[in-house]
Amino acid sequence: MPNTIHIPTPLRPFTDKKESVEVSGATVGELLKDLTTRHDGLKKHLYTDDGRLRNFVNVYLNDEDIRYLQKEQTPVKPGDSLSIVPSVAGGAISPTPQAEAEGGLS
Amino acid sequence: MGLLLEAGVADAIRAHGVETYPNECCGALYGRDGVVMATFALPNTTEEGPRRRFLVRPQDYRDAETRATAMGADLLGFYHSHPDHPARPSQYDLDHAWPFFSYVIVSVKAGVPEDMTSWRLQDDRSAFDQENLTHA
C-alpha cells in the first residue's frame, strides 16, 4: 500500500495541480525525497541550499508534527499519510536589496 | 499577471490594518483566476513582536484551505500590513514566501492606511515581482 503526501495550494503548480501524490519509502525523509524526485520544482521551496527542511515548512505524519517524532528519520508504515502544511510569515523589518534600490524605506 | 480586488476587498484589508495598528494584521485572500472575492482575517500569532512580524500558524493555514474548499474558491494568497513602513516586501517576507501565492501588503502610517501593493515570489526564490493590483 503506497503512502500519500497532501500538497498545499502553493505547491500544486509543481504537482500538475494534484492535491495529493503517491510516494514510497521507509521514512518521512524518504517519502519527501521520492516526492521531490517525481516533482523536481518542489525541492527549492521545501529545502534550504544545504538540504534542511525550511523552518516554515511543517510536515505532519498522519496528524503529528514530525518535529515531535524523529523528524525526517521517522519510520512510516504502509498507508501512512504525510501533510505538508505552510506557516505563512513575514514582516516589515529589513527591506530587500530590490526595495532599497527602488527607494524602499522612508 | 495581476490581481483584481472585488468591491469591498481593499476596504476590508485597510480596515484590518487600521484595527491592529501599530501591530501587523494578516489574513487570507479567496477567489479564483486572479480575482479576490473575499478576505478572512487571521490572528497574528508571532512571538517575535507583532509590530514588525506576522505569523499564520499551520492550524490556521489548514483552516484557511478548508474554508476555501467550503466556499468553492481558491486560496489565492495572504495580506498583511506594514505599520509605519512602505508597502514593499522585506527580506524577511522574501525568506518566508511561498510560490504561487499573491502577497498583498498595505502600508499603515500613523494609523492611516496608505499604499497597497501585491507581490509574487519568483521561481528561483531570489526576489518578488510586483503584480498589477486593480480594484473593481
Structure-model confidence comparison of residues B80 and B49, the more confident one: B80
Q: What is the mean pLDDT of chain B?
A: 96
| ipTM confidence | 0.93
Best interface-test mutation with B: which of A88, A98, A105, A106 has the largest number of B CBs within 10 A?
Answer: A88
Query: What digits encode the pLDDT tens for the residues A4-28?
Result: 999 999 999 999 999 999 999 999 9
Q: Which domain holds residue A45?
A: 3-101
pTM over 0.90, yes/no: yes
* Cβ-Cβ contacts under 8 Å for B47 (sequence gap 6 or more): B55
Residue A71 clears pLDDT 90, i.e. is over it: yes
Is A57 inside any structural domain?
yes
Integer Cα distance of A36 and A30 in angstroms: 10
Number of neighbouring beta carbons within 10 Å of residue A52: 11
Task: Tell me which residues of chain A, numbers 45 to 74, contact chain B at a CB-CB cutoff of 8 Å.
Answer: 45, 56, 58, 60, 65
Counted domains in chain A: 1
The three cell numbers locating residue A36:
521531490
CATH no., domain B2-135: 3.40.140.10
pLDDT digit string, tens, across residues A46-58: 999 999 999 999 9
Interchain CB contacts (distance < 8 Å): A and B? 119
CA distance A87 to chain B (A): 5
Sign of CA dihedral A50, A55, A59, A65: positive
Nearest CA-CA distance, residue B126 and chain A, Å: 10
pLDDT, one tens digit per residue, over B83-94 is: 999 999 999 999
Q: Do A92 and B99 touch (CB under 8 A)?
A: no
CB atoms within 10 A of CB A59: 24
Grid coordinates standing for A12?
Answer: 500544486
Could you state, in order of their start, the residue ranges of all structural domains in chain B? 2-135
Tens digits of residue pLDDT in B5-49: 999 999 999 999 999 999 999 999 999 999 999 999 999 999 888
For chain B, give the percent of residues with pLDDT over 90. 93
Output the domain CATH number for residue A78.
3.10.20.30
Cα separation, B9 vs B72, in Å, equals 18
Q: Which of B24, B78, B98 sits opposite A92 (nearest CB)?
A: B24
A106 occurs within a structural domain: no
Binary contact (B96, A58; C-beta < 8 A): no
Does any CB of chain B come closer than 8 Å to the CB of residue A6?
no
A45 within a domain of the structure (yes/no): yes
Q: Is the pLDDT of residue A100 over 80?
A: no
Query: Phi, psi at residue B100, to the nearest 5°?
Result: 70, -45
Query: Is B128 within 8 Å of A96 when comparing Cβ atoms?
Result: yes
Residue A70, pLDDT above cutoff 90: yes
Q: What are phi and psi of A90, to 5 degrees?
A: 180, -170
